Amino acid sequence: MQIIRDRAALRAAVRGLRGDGGTIALVPTMGALHAGHMALIAEARRRTRHVVASIFVNPIQFGPNEDLAAYPRREASDAKMLDEAGCDMVWAPDVAEMYPPGFATAITVRGVSDGLDGAARPGHFDGVATVVGKLLNQVAPDVALFGEKDYQQLAVIRRMVADLDIAVEIVGVPTERDDDGLALSSRNAYFDPAQRIAARAMPRALGEAAESIARGDSVSAALALARRRLTEAGFAPIDYVTVCDAKTLVEVDEVRDEARLLVAARLGPVRLIDNLRLLPR
Ligand code: PAF
């Protein structure tokens, strides 16, 4: 498996992969890989002949008080996991290669970026859209795969790809969870053992709220219950617990079309996000 660090070498390597007429999937990551990323690679392998993963901790999607410096970086073990999973190539540019001196362009996806994490983390989705736009141009894959755990990110990327006529199929892959239900995330590594146990309350609260809505309780009652459960478990602040239309992410107070129950809340050092699909009764 090749590890490529500059754009000229990437272009040549992608031409090489394309040479056999096979299709290419891209799995963009920031490294610190876990089973959630490996599920993306496995799904990519089912869909295309070649799989390229990118590893790039994207500074422009972190706010000034976020964990850019502390974000786990373990390229050697990531590369080993990707190699064993059958990935063909890793695109791992440094910051100067991705954003050379004079870089001045940003992609803003209005609407779907504005609420939820977009409100809690100003500028975050501009950073995500800009880097994903660049990655899609650099690798020019047939398919690109993203986890549904970052559901708003997936919606922003789908909107950007449609709006900018980027010729790629975007695939959302269901969230991988630990045995106790906690969604896998590179940031779970920041928890101490007691916090890690308390974190289970988030998937439980979501599950309980989703069941309550499915039984016919009102969305507002279900959300109040989820908020109470999170507070009891020590989550603070709760940035949002809400139900939104699955595509536009506009808040709804009834589930008439496919919707998403979304939550973001802090527990100790980690701001956790999670979401579940809701279907009309
Ligand atoms: O989900 C992530 O790991 C990142 O936001 C992404 C899509 C790789 C862009 O930096």
Distance CA 47, CA 92 (A): 23
Q: Rounded mean pLDDT of 205-209?
A: 98
> What is the reported pLDDT for 59?
98
Q: Which of 69-73, 143-147, 228-232, 273-277 has the lowest mean pLDDT?
A: 69-73
CA of 18 to the centre of ligand 1 (A): 25
pLDDT for 72 equals 92
Q: What is the mean pLDDT of residues 42-46?
A: 98
Helix axes 201-215 and 219-232, enclosed angle (nearest 10): 160
C-alpha 42 to ligand 1 mean position (Å)? 18
pTM of the predicted model as reported, rounded to 2 decimal places = 0.96
Ligand 1 contacts CB of residue 55 (under 6 A): no
- CB 162, CB 43: distance < 8 Å: no
Is any ligand 1 atom within 6 A of the Cβ of residue 173? no
- For 221, the token pair is 């009652």
**Residue owning the nearest CA to atom 2 of ligand 1:** 29
pLDDT, tens digit (0-9, with 9 covering 90-100), for 110-125:
999 999 999 999 999 9
**Domains of the chain: residue spans and CATH:** 2-173 (3.40.50.620), 186-276 (3.30.1300.10)
Strand order in the sheet with 238-245: 238-245, 259-267, 270-278
pLDDT of residue 19: 95
Does an H or E element contain 55, and which? strand 50-55
- CA distances 31 to 187, 225, 230, 234, Å, are 11, 35, 29, 29
Give the mean model confidence (pLDDT) for residues 103-111: 98
Instruction: Report the first-to-last Cα separation within the chain, whole angstroms.
Output: 47
How far is Cα 141 from Cα 137, in angstroms, rounded to an integer?
Answer: 8
